[in-house]
Amino acid sequence: MILLDCETLASAELSMGNIFDVSRDELYRLLTLANGVFEDPDWRRNAEPSEIVAEKFMTTLGRRPVFDGVCWFHFTRVPPTMDFSGGILPPIDRLDDIWELLFSMLPQGFKRSDWARFRESMTTRSAHYAHLYRMKTATRGLAGPYGMLLKEIAFQPGRADLHYFQTPEIIEDISICFREDHGFDLQGEYVKRTMPCIVKFICKEPEEGALKDALYYLYLSRERGGAKGIQAVCFDAGGKPIPNSDILKVEFPPPSGLGT
């Protein structure tokens, strides 16, 4: 199976060489052909930079890519005992587990009956974060799970799309509403008891948008000294679980190295 794998720069180079059947030197020679386009001060009128790099590369190469799927990286924050043996599930399929986990983090003596009433209130209250909670739990198409094409993004400082390492959105929605009612920082407690996590998984579909962004990633790494701030295509499962058989790796990177 030929997969696009952007876990590291080296894995991206290797997988792209296999996909296009070219050597590493030829890969970069073809990528640098876009430099002529970027020398034009009006190049932005033509297309997005990733489109320019990909079009120049593939037109010159003259053959279609051959690959079977893409590796993606799911960013989240979970208890250190989490092994994803049941796969990566959208929140709509693990609501009871989420509520039970959060209940275990409440102050000693908090009544389960009060917790049940609070949960029920999330289905009717008019607060903004309660509305977001209902969107995630009532509309499967908005429930993910999601994945990033480039693992490197996790370690780039100053990005706005790494909040998943702080708190999953549905945990944040519940925690903010609970603090409004009871004054307890449930989100802070969740952060104390959990760790950032990266789950590598595959999707057996040859996503060409991912291929174009991977080419641009390689181009920036070689020609611009790095891909800081790159906006690459994301994976959206559309509410469908990602089975454990598609998971390649689960890791808990040190929080100090992340770009959050």
Burial state string for 41-58 with b = 16 or more CB within 10 A and e = fewer than 16 = eeeeeeeebbebbbbbbb
**d(Cα 228, Cα 54) in Å, to the nearest integer?**
19
**d(Cα 95, Cα 98) in Å, to the nearest integer?**
5
**d(Cα 184, Cα 195) in Å, to the nearest integer?**
21
| Amino acid, res. 78 | V
Please check whether residue 56 is in contact with residue 33, taking contact to mean a CB–CB distance below 8 angstroms: yes
SS3 165: helix
Which carries the bigger pLDDT value, residue 211 or residue 153? 211
SS3 67: coil
pLDDT band at 229 (very low <50, low <70, confident <90, very high): low
Q: How many CB atoms lie within 10 A of CB 241?
A: 17
| Amino acid, res. 248 | L
Mode of pairing for the β-strands spanning 3-4 and 69-78: parallel
Residue showing tokens 């209250």: 125
List C-alpha distances in Å: 19 to 1, 53, 57, 64: 10, 16, 13, 9
Model pLDDT, residue 11: 96
Per residue in 86-108, pLDDT (tens digit) is 999 998 899 999 999 999 999 99
**d(Cα 182, Cα 129) in Å, to the nearest integer?**
15
Per residue in 13-71, pLDDT (tens digit) is 999 999 999 999 999 999 988 877 677 676 667 677 888 888 888 889 888 899 999 99
Please check whether residue 30 is in contact with residue 60, taking contact to mean a CB–CB distance below 8 angstroms: yes
Q: How many CB atoms lie within 10 A of CB 159?
A: 17
Per residue in 121-171, pLDDT (tens digit) is 999 988 899 999 998 888 777 778 999 999 988 888 776 666 778 888 899
Closest C-alpha to 202, from 28, 6, 33, 30: 6
Which carries the bigger pLDDT value, residue 251 or residue 41? 251
**Alpha-carbon dihedral sign for residues 154, 159, 161, 165:** positive
Q: What letter would DSSP give residue 107? A: P
What region, left, alpha or beta, does residue 79 occupy, with left being phi > 0 and alpha being psi -120 to 50 degrees? beta
Task: Please report, for the chain, the start and end positions of each structural domain, with discontinuous segments joined by +.
Answer: 3-69+202-242
Model pLDDT, residue 135: 85
Model pLDDT, residue 55: 86
Q: Residue length, the chain?
A: 260
Please check whether residue 125 is in contact with residue 178, taking contact to mean a CB–CB distance below 8 angstroms: no
